[in-house]
Amino acid sequence: MATITNVTEYQAIAKQKLPKMVYDYYASGAEDEWSLSENRNAFTRILFRPRILIDVSKIDMTTTVLGFKISMPIMIAPTAMQKMAHPEGEYATARAASAAGTIMTLSSWATSSVEEVASTGPGIRFFQLYVYKDRNVVAQLVRRAERAGFKAIALTVDTPRLGRREADIKNRFTLPPFLTLKNFEGLDLGKMDEANDSGLASYVAGQIDRSLSWKDVQWLQTITSLPILVKGVLTAEDARIAVQVGAAGIIVSNHGARQLDYVPATIRALEEVVKGAQGRVPVFLDGGVRRGTDVFKALALGASGIFIGRPVVFSLAAEGEAGVRNVLQMLRDEFELTMALSGCRNLGEITRAHIFTDWDASPSHPTAKL
């Protein structure tokens, strides 16, 4: 097999290896999938302004996230049901993240439990939370994550209902019979019924709380001491409110373009959210990151770090833990090279002036004077 030289190449391998229902679940977006392609395309509208003749013999990519030191600003986003991709599923992902010295976010809908993932060894892990109608289930799950040593809660706020994913409707997507949503196994919420459309959409309609509001973010802080990241913010208005209600951070996310179609690419929404947060909490990004250049662009626009989702499941399907390790290593190497060629020796040296975008027209911007 030809050497894999970039992150994107894993997708074609995953497509060959996986059952259609599974591949389509991971790969597809909502409705017309305009936002799905836009998440990638928007990065192509950001160009570099590299600075030359700077001593880049030593490059430091380390950073801290919520006080935890990590090797690079590249982390793993929560993606559901990873054992559909590979038998080791979330175990493999956890080990790969730990080996790379970065953070893994475990999905509520994982096919491995918080305790099982914790048992893989040391590592900094966050837990992604869906709020179920039964708040006792939520409280129990948060407690279990805390006890298992998870360090933060990433609260998904863009899913009062599941987005319309037409591939899942066509395939009548459901969790394969040999798998369960392990975190809910003992609560009789671990299985998904077959449905005439998407089994997951029916599951969400039945279990996930559509009444979720900002007061629940405050409620969550009364039941846990863990910092809460609000995942799914796309506007300055919501960034301001997130800060006001005590969020520890914001993840700019459109749920991998799987919820509302025709929302902007996350890299396009990022700057607005950063301005709304006013430097009071860190802002992260997920959606469409496939290259080290993408990571640099996100940091130049004010992100404190990025999360990758689909590259993890595709590389997991292709090569298991080794695939996920390779994705993290390739992104790391590319990001380091981008920093060197842009004249940045540490993350603090990456500035807005290192890029220009299609939407830069303001007279204050350095390129306007040229």
By annotation, the residues acting in catalysis are: 255
In angstroms, the CA 266 to CA 163 distance is 17
Strand partners, 5: none
Judge whether 290 is annotated as a binding position. Answer: yes
The structure tokens listed for 22 are: 């599974």
Judge whether 258 is annotated as a binding position. Answer: yes
Judge whether 156 is annotated as a binding position. Answer: yes
Judge whether 216 is annotated as a binding position. Answer: no
Instruction: Decide if 199 contacts 174 (C-beta within 8 A).
Output: yes
Judge whether 158 is annotated as a binding position. Answer: no
Judge whether 144 is annotated as a binding position. Answer: no
Non-local (6+) Cβ contacts of 263 within 8 A are: 35, 234, 254, 257, 269
Please list the alpha-helical segments (H only) found in the chain: 9-17, 20-27, 34-41, 89-100, 114-118, 135-147, 166-171, 199-207, 214-223, 236-244, 266-277, 292-300, 310-342
What is the 8-class DSSP label of residue 132? B
Q: Output the CA–CA distances (angstroms, integers) from residue 250 to 25, 230, 235, 241, in the order listed.
A: 26, 5, 11, 11
Judge whether 289 is annotated as a binding position. Answer: yes
Residue 155 burial class via C-beta count within 10 angstroms: exposed 0-12, middle 13-18, buried 19 and up: buried
Judge whether 253 is annotated as a binding position. Answer: yes
Judge whether 309 is annotated as a binding position. Answer: yes
Residue of 334, 365, 353, 370 lying closest to 59 (CA atoms): 334
Judge whether 37 is annotated as a binding position. Answer: no
Judge whether 148 is annotated as a binding position. Answer: no
Judge whether 25 is annotated as a binding position. Answer: yes
- Taking residue 346's Cβ as centre, other Cβ atoms within 10 Å add up to 13
In angstroms, the CA 237 to CA 187 distance is 37
Instruction: Decide if 217 contacts 145 (C-beta within 8 A).
Output: no
What is the 8-class DSSP label of residue 2? P
CA atoms within 13 A on the CB side of 349: 19
Judge whether 67 is annotated as a binding position. Answer: no
Judge whether 351 is annotated as a binding position. Answer: no
Judge whether 123 is annotated as a binding position. Answer: no
Judge whether 101 is annotated as a binding position. Answer: no
Non-local (6+) Cβ contacts of 211 within 8 A are: 160
Non-local (6+) Cβ contacts of 156 within 8 A are: 78, 108, 128, 129, 130, 231, 232, 255
Judge whether 80 is annotated as a binding position. Answer: yes
Instruction: Decide if 22 contacts 314 (C-beta within 8 A).
Output: no
Binding residues for FMN: 78-80, 107, 128, 130, 156, 231, 253, 258, 286-290, 309-310
Which residues contribute to the annotated binding site? 25, 78-80, 107, 128, 130, 156, 165, 231, 253, 255, 258, 286-290, 309-310
| Binding-site entries for glyoxylate | 25, 165, 255
